[in-house]
Amino acid sequence: MKNIKNIIFDFDGVLIKNTKILLETHRKTLGPFSEENFRKLFNGNTAEELEKHKIKNMNLFWDEWKKILENWIIDQETLNFLKNNKKNNFIISSNKEYILNKILENSNIENLFLDVLGSETHKLKTKKFILLKEKFNLNFKETVFITDSLGDLKEASEFPELKTIGVTWGVHCRKNLKKGIPDFISDSWDEIKKILN
Ligand SMILES: [Mg+2]
């Protein structure tokens, strides 16, 4: 993957490895999810998938999720990747911006990102890709989006020039990620470093 200048990161399941606790939090606050049904939420846009489940008490989820994440620190391997890559970094997430910014602050890397767009900005990632593109005049031929979910890959596929990498340490396995036809699927930051250089 040559000439990549910009990286757009998904957050949960990519920059933090929190899939297991996310499942537990869904069960605790939203109802009895099987692991299979939980993972299926991420085959599409999660906000829209949750609406299909007619879940109304999202406040309970967000209160709990904030409690769990507000002291979270990004792991060392991920921090090393972020500190050593010389790209323009962005975050597009369905998590809340105040939670994302808190974790970046806890990890002392808030200065490594040019912008952080969460659910307060818009529920659709497609919309947030367009916002970033316009704000920073991004050339998507020089931009890669890194995510752990099929739903995100589907949203990214609306921008054919945008490159994509699926990572296997989050919510979806290699087989499911493949359905979104990413340019690469990776098992480690070391591998991603090699792909980008
Ligand atoms: Mg994710």
Same domain? 81 vs 168: yes
Same domain? 40 vs 11: no
């910009």: which residue's tokens?
6
Question: How far apart, in whole angstroms, are the C-alpha atoms of residue 180 and residue 166?
Answer: 9
Same domain? 29 vs 91: no
- DSSP summary character for residue 114: S
Same domain? 65 vs 77: no
Distance 16 CA to ligand 1 centre (A): 9
Q: DSSP string covering 38-67, please? A: HHHGGGS-HHHHHHHTT---HHHHHHHHHH
Distance 2 CA to ligand 1 centre (A): 25
Distance 126 CA to ligand 1 centre (A): 15
Same domain? 190 vs 135: yes
Distance 150 CA to ligand 1 centre (A): 9
Question: Total domain count for the chain?
Answer: 2
Distance 84 CA to ligand 1 centre (A): 22
Same domain? 59 vs 80: no
Does 1 map to a domain? no
Does 82 map to a domain? yes
Q: What is the pLDDT of residue 15?
A: 98
Same domain? 62 vs 85: no
- Does residue 6 register a pLDDT over 90? yes
Indicate which CATH number applies to the domain containing 78: 3.40.50.1000
Distance 11 CA to ligand 1 centre (A): 6
pTM score: 0.95
Same domain? 161 vs 101: yes
Distance 46 CA to ligand 1 centre (A): 10
Distance 94 CA to ligand 1 centre (A): 8
Give the range of the structural domain holding residue 81, as residue numbers without chain letter: 6-17+73-196
> What pLDDT, in 10s, does the model give residues 101-134?
999 999 999 999 999 999 999 989 999 999 999 9
pLDDT confidence tier of residue 46, bands split at 50, 70 and 90:
confident
Q: What six digits make up the tokens of 20?
A: 């297991």
Distance 33 CA to ligand 1 centre (A): 18
Distance 114 CA to ligand 1 centre (A): 19
